[in-house]
Chain A
């Protein structure tokens, strides 16, 4: 079955450490997105990519980086510059031009220790 796979499910980061969250989809979707969700808040857009080798900053891109070398993959790196990274990170995808809803991965819960 097609879908989006995020890994790991849980991730612990030490202060000053960079960590990378994986997101892979086999839906043949063009556009991929990274959101962050904090308790009691809506999803906030970190980065998105409409096509391979191209991506744009979202509303809260500072302290994060991404790459889109393959259509299927959109990894997110949480750098040491992100001062408050503890959150639930969600990857989503959609076929470009299709104004239907997103398909989300199951999320990665990142905690700073």
Chain B
């Protein structure tokens, strides 16, 4: 089993739709959680950190469920420009800090 797993998609949604992605992690030593956005043939860029109490940044909401070991990303009122691959990342504290990335979920927002 991979340490961090994501549904690869693609998710095809119309503009204005609400879409949610989950990311599951297997290591209980996971300490910090992030969502990155990666456009085609570009580097990942940090979208948002995920806090225990959940957090929101405009149309984006991130949540953490430690009991079930997953994080989620909700995008409301999808825009064409939201089309990208969304990577989750988990920092493990195993004596040192190590970041594990998921393989990403592809999102296509269509007019």
A104 to B47, CA, bound (A): 13
Q: What's the minimum C-beta distance from A59 to chain B, rounded to whole angstroms?
A: 9
Say yes or no: B32 contacts A90, CB within 8 Å.
no
| List of B residues within 8 angstroms of A103 by Cβ | 46
Say yes or no: B44 contacts A104, CB within 8 Å.
yes
Residues 77-113 of chain A, each 1 if its beta carbon lies under 8 Å from chain B, else 0: 0000000000010100000000111111111010000
Given A42-B101, A42-B102, A42-B104, A102 contacting B46 (CB threshold 8 A): yes
Number of contacting residues on A, CB 8 A?
19
CB of A53 closer than 8 Å to a CB of B: no
11 new A-B contacts at CB < 8 Å, known A99-B91, A102-B89, A106-B42: A35-B101, A42-B87, A42-B101, A45-B98, A90-B44, A99-B32, A100-B46, A101-B34, A101-B46, A102-B44, A106-B43
